[in-house]
Chains A and B, each alone.
Chain A
Amino acid sequence: MSALIEVENLRVRFPGDHGPTDVVRGISFSLGRERLGIVGESGSGKSMTGRALMGLVPAPGRAIADRMVFDGIDLARLDERGFRRLRGARLSMVLQDPKFSLNPVIRIGEQIGEALAFHSRASRRERRRRVLDVLAAVRIDDPERVYRLFPHEVSGGMGQRVMIAMMVVLEPDVMIADEPTSALDVSVRAQVLEIMDDLVRRRGMGLVLISHDLEMVARWCDRVLVMYDGRIVEECAAGRLAEATHPYTKGLLASTPHLDDARELLPVLDRGALGASR
């Protein structure tokens, strides 16, 4: 499989009062036209890995890598202008909670259409038509109506479909979804994931699904990276998570409750044994 993105020795570094801190500490991985899951607990560096790929590590943080290549472009040495040309058009990102990630005072249709305005010379009419098409593609029944609504007028599930529509309207090569369903009701999660999955497969995109939910990632991804303390501690096919070897992954799997559980207490991670160095 030809790789879309290849990352070697990526670090995300924040300056601090006591010298710099690395929240991502030298990870290497590649992404093809596949669905790659990145799992880990809060603070494991999974979100920052996604931001680094987009060139959106918040200041004063910085992403440093030996190599971070996307389709022949070295992202590690790309300037802001170069990133701007890629963002939305070839690399895109779905954020966690549509309540906060959609602009409250701009109509949904215009928010989606913006991406087209930044990256194409499409006329106003053409933009409108494409926005309506993409709204239909994320299975919104009445695109004409939703086009005119403001974000506070739609439900969380629909908001997240709008977000996805915004990020696929230009048919990017790679979509990074950072906890795309954690803010949603359990009842609509599967629906949103299914829509995303369908678009990714049909358009042959690479998907990076960032989550803390092992089971979800195992179900919707081809391959899984497990991150802990800024490092990748496990990499395996999604179907083979049960055969994981790293003690952290095993610990996580062991702490998942089951319906037929006879255990009184779920096991607690023994962090001392994991050798966390912070």
Chain B
Amino acid sequence: MAQAEIGAEQRASRIPRASAAALLRRGRSLAWIALTLALTLLGLMAVTFVVGRVVPIDPVIAVVGERASQAVYDAARIEMGLDDPVVVQFARYVMDVLRGDLGMSVTTQRPVMEDLARVFPATLEMATLGILIGVTLGVPMGVVAAARQGTLVDQVIRVLGLAGYAIPAFWIGLVGLVVFYASLGWVGGPGRIDFFLDGMVEPVTGLLLVDSLLAGDMESFGSAFSHIVLPATILGFFSLAYISRMTRSFMLEQLGQEYIVTARAKGAPERVVVWRHAFKPIRVQLVTVVGLSYAALLEGSVMIETVFSWPGIGNYLTNALLNADMNAVLGATLLIGVVFIAINKLSDLLYLIIDPRARS
């Protein structure tokens, strides 16, 4: 009767002890992640490449101008390699991208790579602060709402979340500026830093808060902070709306599980039932949700960046689009894609750490 089970137990017992096999398996899953990463990136480059070719903007005219003669036009076309077979062009594109060459921007007259290195940190800084606010407030709010389902607390949290969906970003941005900047003077106005401090801090990371701290320049830090706090809070509010909603529904599902009854049958206090037995299992799902919201913020909120004159990637991309600046558009698109993929892969790695079921 117990024979079969003992056999199974012995088999199971080898797994934690055979560390070499476990290491091999983990190495293999890391290699797998790296391989899929490379393939996804190649796919992404294929997409941007194709998009660059099908849009009705002639890159030759962009260079030579509309009034150039046919001979000049043809010469430029050959020089730009546009006569070569598509495969060769794509290979050249991939090599260029890998070397960090995204071409010149027509509008800024600078390499796109340099532009991105300047605008992306501005977005990164704001998005990171925003997601931190969204997670530290949104997750507890969702948990509390689920634990007190149907009560006044739950209703208030749900209305707040709904507001995050319904209120337009530019409206709340403008109202925020009017109230907290113009009337109360609690925060800085548009831009990343007060204009008389602009350019005082040597860019190292491109993140003003970090760079000013590295330089020990507390005045710049204070100014940068007062400028970022309002837009980041507004971004945080939007991600909070999504995160708290998802947390609430994940928690409700967990609270209906049998092991919650078990925890109560052991005499677990409500706090332990909610935060340990119900919350721990949903961390994996939350990683996905937070990763997605962070990625969304990193694409740059055009609305917020416009209202706050924030020199971020959203603003850059919009300008490039309006000026038919294809190199800039494709470069920014590629960067956003890479960020998206990176965050997804990071979530995959986090699963391996958090979820015991994914590990074995």
A residues contacting B by CB (< 8 A) are: 54, 56, 84-89, 92-93, 95-97, 100-106, 114-115, 118-119, 141-142, 145, 148-150, 152-155, 157-158, 163, 166-167, 187-188, 190-191
Task: Given the known inter-chain contacts A142-B13, A150-B357, please indicate yes or no for A84 contacting B258, CB distance below 8 A.
Answer: no
Q: Which of A85, A102, A141, A142 contacts B262 (CB 8 A)?
A: A102
Q: Which of B9, B267, B280 contacts A118 (CB 8 A)?
A: B267
Contacts of A93 in B (CB 8 A): 261, 265
Contacts of A88 in B (CB 8 A): 265-268
Interface residues of B in 159-184 (CB under 8 A from A): none
User: B265-276: contact bitstring with A at CB < 8 Å (1 yes, 0 no)?
Assistant: 111110010001
Task: Given the known inter-chain contacts A100-B258, A157-B5, please indicate yes or no for A105 contacting B263, CB distance below 8 A.
Answer: no
CB pair B262 A101 closer than 8 Å:
yes
Task: Given the known inter-chain contacts A104-B281, A106-B276, please indicate yes or no for A97 contacting B258, CB distance below 8 A.
Answer: yes
Minimum distance in angstroms from B157 CB to a CB of chain A:
20
CB pair A191 B269 closer than 8 Å:
no
Contacts of B269 in A (CB 8 A): 84, 118
Q: Is B152 an interface residue (CB 8 A)?
A: no
Minimum distance in angstroms from A109 CB to a CB of chain B:
13
Contacts of A92 in B (CB 8 A): 265-266
Q: Which of B4, B6, B16, B261 contacts A56 (CB 8 A)?
A: B261
**In the bound complex, how far is the Cα of B12 from the Cα of A153, in angstroms?**
7
**In the bound complex, how far is the Cα of B15 from the Cα of A105, in angstroms?**
18
**In the bound complex, how far is the Cα of B264 from the Cα of A154, in angstroms?**
23
Contacts of B13 in A (CB 8 A): 142, 145
Q: Assuming A101-B261, A118-B266, what are 16 further A-B pairs, CB within 8 angstroms?
A: A56-B264, A87-B264, A88-B265, A95-B261, A96-B258, A102-B259, A103-B262, A103-B280, A104-B281, A105-B355, A118-B269, A148-B16, A150-B356, A154-B9, A154-B12, A191-B2
Minimum distance in angstroms from B148 CB to a CB of chain A:
12
Contacts of B265 in A (CB 8 A): 54, 56, 87-88, 92-93, 95, 167
Interface residues of B in 335-360 (CB under 8 A from A): 355-357, 360
Minimum distance in angstroms from A270 CB to a CB of chain B:
35
Minimum distance in angstroms from B97 CB to a CB of chain A:
41
Sampled A-B contacts (6; CB under 8 Å): A54-B265, A102-B262, A103-B281, A141-B6, A155-B5, A188-B1
Contacts of A118 in B (CB 8 A): 266-269, 272
Q: Is B277 an interface residue (CB 8 A)?
A: yes
Contacts of B257 in A (CB 8 A): 100
**In the bound complex, how far is the Cα of B257 from the Cα of A150, in angstroms?**
17
Minimum distance in angstroms from B19 CB to a CB of chain A:
14
**In the bound complex, how far is the Cα of B6 from the Cα of A92, in angstroms?**
28
Among B5, B262, B268, B280, find the residue whose CB has the most chain A CB atoms closer than 10 A.
B262
Q: Is B20 an interface residue (CB 8 A)?
A: no
Size of the chain B interface, CB-CB below 8 angstroms: 33
Closest B residue, CB atoms, query A91 = B265
CB pair B266 A158 closer than 8 Å:
no
Judged by DSSP, the binding face of B is: helix
Contacts of A163 in B (CB 8 A): 262
Contacts of A115 in B (CB 8 A): 266-267
Minimum distance in angstroms from B331 CB to a CB of chain A:
42
Contacts of A153 in B (CB 8 A): 12, 15, 360
CB pair A104 B267 closer than 8 Å:
no
Among A97, A153, A167, find the residue whose CB has the most chain B CB atoms closer than 10 A.
A153
Contacts of A54 in B (CB 8 A): 265
Minimum distance in angstroms from A249 CB to a CB of chain B:
30
Contacts of A87 in B (CB 8 A): 264-267
Closest A residue, CB atoms, query B282 = A105
Interface residues of B in 246-296 (CB under 8 A from A): 257-259, 261-269, 272, 276-277, 280-281, 283
CB pair B281 A141 closer than 8 Å:
no
Contacts of B261 in A (CB 8 A): 56, 93, 95, 101
Contacts of B283 in A (CB 8 A): 105
**In the bound complex, how far is the Cα of B265 from the Cα of A84, in angstroms?**
8
Closest B residue, CB atoms, query A93 = B265
Interface residues of B in 1-53 (CB under 8 A from A): 1-2, 4-6, 8-9, 12-13, 15-16
Contacts of B266 in A (CB 8 A): 87-88, 92, 114-115, 118, 166-167
**In the bound complex, how far is the Cα of B4 from the Cα of A96, in angstroms?**
22
**In the bound complex, how far is the Cα of B258 from the Cα of A101, in angstroms?**
5
**In the bound complex, how far is the Cα of B276 from the Cα of A145, in angstroms?**
23
Minimum distance in angstroms from A36 CB to a CB of chain B:
18
Closest B residue, CB atoms, query A140 = B9
**In the bound complex, how far is the Cα of B1 from the Cα of A1, in angstroms?**
37
Contacts of A106 in B (CB 8 A): 276-277, 280
**In the bound complex, how far is the Cα of B277 from the Cα of A228, in angstroms?**
35
CB pair B356 A141 closer than 8 Å:
no
Task: Given the known inter-chain contacts A105-B280, A152-B357, A188-B5, please indicate yes or no for A85 contacting B258, CB distance below 8 A.
Answer: no
Closest A residue, CB atoms, query B264 = A56
Contacts of A187 in B (CB 8 A): 1, 4
Minimum distance in angstroms from B277 CB to a CB of chain A:
5
Q: Which 6 A-B pairs have the closest CB atoms?
A: A88-B267, A88-B266, A100-B258, A87-B267, A93-B265, A150-B356
